[in-house]
Amino acid sequence: MKQGTLHRALCIVNRQLIIVAMATLVACTKAPVYTDSSASVEQRVEDLLKRMTLEEKVGQMNQLVGVNHIRMNDGVLTEEEILAHNALACYPGYTADSIEQMVQQGLVGSFLHVVTLTEANYLQSLALQSRLGIPILFGIDAIHGNAKFCGCTVYPTNIGVACSFDTAMAYRIAKETAQEMRACNMHWTFNPDVEIARDPRWGRCGETYGEDPYLVSLMGAQTVRGFEQNNVLSCLKHLVAGGQSSNGTNGAPTDLSERTLREMFFPPFQAGVAAGAGSVMMAHNELNGVPCHTNAWLMTDILRKEWHFHGFIVSDWIDIERVAAIHHTANDNQDAYYQAILAGIDMHMHGPEWQQAVVELVRQGKISEKRIDQSVRRILTAKFQLGLFEHPYATAEDSARICFSEAHQQTALQASEQSIVLLKNDGILPLQQEVWKGKHILVTGINADDANIMGDWTDPQPADHCWTVLRGLQESAPEIHFDFVNQGWDPRNMNPQQVQKAAQVARTTDLNIVVCGEYMARYRWHDRTGGEDTDRSDNYLVGLQEELIRQVAASGKPTILIYITGRPLSLPWAQDNLSAILYAWEPGQMGGKALARILWGEVNPSAKMAISVPYHVGQCQMIYNHKPSLALHPYVLGPTQPLYAFGEGLSYTRFAYSNAHLQNDTLFVDVSNTGEREGVEITQLYVHDDVASVTRPVKELKAFRRTALQPGQTVTLTFPITDDMLAFYTADNTLRVEPGTFTFMVGGSSKNEDLLKVVGSR
């Protein structure tokens, strides 16, 4: 070969080598696919997953409490207190500094109990310093607003929202809560609680949507949509049946038939999954002898295979550890982790022991890395879908603009107005301000002037953000004299002298208002009488509250009783002797303003009870959808029926039902406003299968409608009768409609005297 030709050939080869080298260099320096926002979520997840070490994967499956929470409680609590479900738990042997190091090493996937934007952004900055820069998923108990953050909007709790029978309101509250959460750099709420509350002793009744599976399903599904459609991960909890434990206490054993589970407890979870819930939390309790946290039938067979759930499953507060410590179905924590992961758990709440123990289980071959990948894939998918890789921070400007905005305050006020149930009225309500101008009204009771009105799952809020009952009355009627007698906030330690003072003042006033109930504020955890882990052995008023009511009423002046509570409370004497009774539940920070508007007649109450109120604790369980033989032998001493029934609630106007009939698989009924003012009536349709192969409830709610009616107006409501209203699980646990006759009941409550009956057949 000639020298010139050889030179040209060598140049071509060199250029090709240079091109190959440059291409290799570009390929090596090209940004990873998981950082490319234009790639699909699936592509990003798979690219990131293959880059992760086992330790980093296991870290993504773990959630810890925030470092400020640890610094606040470090050295205060014992291991026994932590296992006892104390909400202030931290980690003996770990410091906040060591937790921060774990974050920088990419060994923490999520945090809870982070309640300031500053801390959230700080922890996120540490996570982004890790090798792969995987952002933190911040979870928070935003149960009725992002109320763990100071300065956010506090809406009524779920039980009150359920009493509105307004599913659109449930969506609206969730939507606005999601907006405030993201403004505070929170991404995941442990809500909605779609358990069925069937025991008034249970402290968490107020966190639920009540006792009926149909109502809970609709409310829960709309809450899920409100969060998920506004870029916040929802969490269906707690799977399953914690609302009917063996003794009414949180986490106690539950034993139920599969039919009862499928008909009463499963439907809200299934509806929430169908609505797009991104996560599910397991229940504290054991179910039929198996701790829910190691229950493969619940997590894998039902949730994954039957309902096709694609999100991730999280444990509740150190409940996997309780599999060994409390349930004794595991040898130790590592054995409990092993059982939980194989059963279906994806994320552990909470504690650093998980990290080394789970890594060892994989190294030992007891758990495959493929199984770990399943969980991590689900968690990473959520993080990408939430946009955390592109938007890991929030700003103080956004928080100030969005949180507690005028629009959100208006929603909270309207929700409170719709959640307050009027249960007795001898004609004294609504009050006329011109009649009471210049007169004196006594206001007293533990909940008359306390921030406890905001309810459980609320941290302290700015004083000017909370309308107590007293403040609401004073601002709404400045020309009326409100004589306030303070009873303190603690029902267990009421001062007898203050009770006597209220009785004395009542003799000099023209009207008495007593605001009683439970104490739920979490910042006085050990002083609470209601809320999470605050279960009762009865459903009566605590302390001197009943004595206060009786002595005030003994003045002979009209007396109005207002309950602020998260659970059904019973005072039959009040129903027989007082002028008016309202259940305000936990109405949120606008509660006092809403109550004032109802008392003065600016708002016509429309709410109906979402849970029955028994006369006494001996009636547990008191539910409207009971089986026919419940009252075969009535109580010898005391009534058998509830004090207040599911669906019951009064208005300042009157409604009448007529002309109920069936035509072409549709039920028609006329509803008339026979009173003198506009009002909203909640019409309820119940069904009973007259003869079936297994016993059926005496009635089951299958539809409802909120209707605004002017005085004298009549509307015809229609309810299509569908197979899903009539189907039930037969003896072989098959869901189907059995041929025969059905009784359809339509009216204003679940009480027989409030219902029109129509018989149809299939």
* Per-residue pLDDT, 601: 98
Mean pLDDT score, 415-426: 98
Shared domain check, 508 and 586: yes
Closest CA to 673 of 655, 651, 649, 658: 655
Residue 509 lies in a domain: yes
Shared domain check, 732 and 594: no
pLDDT tens digits along 615-645 = 988 888 899 999 999 888 888 888 889 999 9
Closest CA to 201 of 680, 670, 611: 611
Percentage of the chain with pLDDT > 90?
A: 89
Shared domain check, 506 and 573: yes
Residue 382 lies in a domain: no
* Per-residue pLDDT, 75: 52
Shared domain check, 420 and 291: no
Shared domain check, 598 and 483: yes
- 86: confidence class by pLDDT, cuts 50, 70, 90: low
Q: Assess whether pLDDT exceeds 50 at residue 1.
A: no
Residue 335 lies in a domain: yes
CA distances (Å), origin 564, targets 369, 449, 604: 51, 11, 19
Q: Assess whether pLDDT exceeds 60 at residue 87.
A: no
- Angle (CA) 121-123-124 rounded to 5° is 60
For residues 453 and 447, give the distance between their C-alpha atoms in angstroms, rounded to a whole number: 7
Q: Assess whether pLDDT exceeds 50 at residue 2.
A: no
Shared domain check, 479 and 427: yes
For residues 517 and 596, give the distance between their C-alpha atoms in angstroms, rounded to a whole number: 18
Shared domain check, 739 and 666: yes
Mean pLDDT score, 335-339: 98
pLDDT tens digits along 548-597 = 999 999 999 999 999 999 999 999 999 999 999 999 999 999 999 999 99
Mean pLDDT score, 734-740: 96
* Per-residue pLDDT, 202: 95
Residue 575 lies in a domain: yes
Does residue 512 sit in helix, strand or coil? strand
Q: How many CB atoms lie within 10 A of CB 128?
A: 17
* Per-residue pLDDT, 79: 53
| Chain mean pLDDT for the chain | 94
pTM of structure: 0.94
Closest CA to 516 of 599, 445, 592: 445
* Per-residue pLDDT, 9: 45
* Per-residue pLDDT, 560: 98
- 74: confidence class by pLDDT, cuts 50, 70, 90: low
Residue 690 lies in a domain: yes
Q: Residue 361: CB partners within 8 Å, gap ≥ 6?
A: 334, 337, 338, 341, 367
CATH number at residue 667: 2.60.40.10
Shared domain check, 663 and 556: no
Domain closes at, from 320, 345, 370: 345
Identity of the residue numbered 652: Y
Q: What is the chain's alpha carbon radius of gyration, rounded to the nearest angstrom?
A: 29
- 71: confidence class by pLDDT, cuts 50, 70, 90: confident
CA atoms within 13 A on the CB side of 484: 16
As for how many domains the chain has, the answer is 3
Shared domain check, 337 and 291: yes
Shared domain check, 307 and 423: no
The string of DSSP letters for 643-665 reads: SB-TT--B-SS-EEEEEEEEETT
* Per-residue pLDDT, 13: 41
Q: Assess whether pLDDT exceeds 80 at residue 28.
A: no
Q: Assess whether pLDDT exceeds 80 at residue 11.
A: no
Does residue 715 sit in helix, strand or coil? strand
Domain closes at, from 345, 367, 383: 345
* Per-residue pLDDT, 18: 41
Closest CA to 225 of 278, 302, 146: 278
Residue 80 lies in a domain: no
Shared domain check, 698 and 615: no
* Per-residue pLDDT, 77: 54
Q: Residue 473: CB partners within 8 Å, gap ≥ 6?
A: 441, 443, 480, 482, 513, 592, 595, 596, 599
* Long-range contacts of the stretch 84-87 (C-beta < 8 A, 24+): 85/250, 85/251, 85/284, 85/317, 85/318, 85/533, 86/525, 87/317, 87/522, 87/525, 87/532, 87/533
Q: Assess whether pLDDT exceeds 90 at residue 444.
A: yes
Q: Assess whether pLDDT exceeds 70 at residue 20.
A: no
For residues 357 and 372, give the distance between their C-alpha atoms in angstroms, rounded to a whole number: 13
Asked if 193 and 208 touch (Cβ cutoff 8 Å), the reply is: yes
pLDDT tens digits along 470-528 = 999 999 999 999 999 999 999 999 999 999 999 999 999 999 999 999 999 999 989 99
Shared domain check, 265 and 341: yes
Percentage of the chain with pLDDT > 70?
A: 94
Residue 475 lies in a domain: yes
Residue 727 lies in a domain: yes
Domain closes at, from 345, 376, 402: 345
Domain that holds residue 710: 655-761
For residues 714 and 670, give the distance between their C-alpha atoms in angstroms, rounded to a whole number: 7
Identity of the residue numbered 462: P
